[in-house]
Amino acid sequence: MKTIYLIRHGKASLEGSDRERGLTEEGMEHANQIAEILKNIEPKIKIICSSPLKRAILTMEPLAKYLDIEIQIHEDLKEKITGDTSGKNLNDEKRKMWDNFDLKLSGGESISEASKRALSVLTLIKNELDEDGCAAVQSHGTLIGIILHHFDPSFGFDEWKNMTMPDIYKIDYDNDNTTVKHIGCDSIETFKIGN
């Protein structure tokens, strides 16, 4: 069996470009607490991967330092590109996209497009693992929700809205059988984006 822990980053700063936004002080504490949760799991994490966005990399740094593992950066783990929301209600637009996976805004990508790249990079990471290997993969809320929907079609817009920041999911690949379990961050005071 191979295992991937799918991790949503800690509370992000709103300062700077989307790619360069870091973590708040609370988010840095989230990163330390995520390391505490994951550093002693068995089998040991052997691979750490992250989105190229700064807040994602910063969330993985304490775990990478503790385990002495270099973070692999994967462009395809970046957040789904929403596109131009000028004059639109972002929440309404996201709900429409969860209802129609081929819908996209100008300059954005559809859930179908984002799903394709996300699942492709997950397969790449899984194939890099030894049998009984374990990886920590850091990404973003919408992209993680899309991945979870692939394995559990009941996961939709409402479930995505209820994800916390940070959050942890465990994906077990046992030959042709894949199971997903919500690990969560019970030891962490999480943050939830308002409804």
Domains of the chain: 2-182 (3.40.50.1240)
pLDDT, tens digit, for every residue of 10-52?
Answer: 888 888 888 899 899 999 999 999 999 999 899 999 999 999 9
Q: How far apart are CA 53 and CA 172, in angstroms?
A: 26
Give the pLDDT confidence score for residue 105 in this predicted structure: 93
Give the pLDDT confidence score for residue 25 in this predicted structure: 92
Token duo for residue 42: 């068995």
Question: Given pLDDT bands bounded at 50, 70 and 90, which one contains residue 190?
Answer: low
Question: Given pLDDT bands bounded at 50, 70 and 90, which one contains residue 194?
Answer: very low
Strand, helix or coil at 28? helix
Asked if 4 and 171 count as a contact pair (C-beta separation under 8 A), the reply is yes
Listed range (27-36, 83-92, 131-140) with the worst mean pLDDT: 83-92
Strand, helix or coil at 170? strand
Give the pLDDT confidence score for residue 189 in this predicted structure: 62
Token duo for residue 185: 């961050």
Q: Is the pLDDT of residue 142 over 60?
A: yes
Burial class (CB in 10 A: 0-12, 13-18, 19+), 48: buried
* Mean pLDDT (whole number) for 154-172: 92
Q: Is the pLDDT of residue 110 over 90?
A: yes
Positive or negative CA dihedral for 191, 25, 10, 19?
positive
Question: Taking every pair of C-alpha atoms in the chain, what is the biggest distance, in angstroms?
Answer: 50
